[in-house]
Amino acid sequence: MNKWAYSLLVVAAGWLAYRYRYRMADWALRIPSLRKQLIRFALNIPAVRGVLVSQMLRP
pTM of the predicted structure, to 2 decimals: 0.57
Q: Rounded CA gap, 54 and 59, in Å?
A: 10
Nearest to 41 by CA among 30, 6, 4, 33: 33
Contact indicator for 39, 32 with CB cutoff of 8 Å:
no
Question: What pLDDT, on the 0 to 100 scale, is given for residue 1?
Answer: 66
- The domain spans of the chain are 2-56
Alpha carbon distance 15, 10 (integer Å): 9
pLDDT at 58: 81
Q: pLDDT digit of tens for each residue in the chain (59 aa)?
A: 689 999 999 999 999 999 999 999 999 899 999 999 998 999 999 999 999 889 888 87
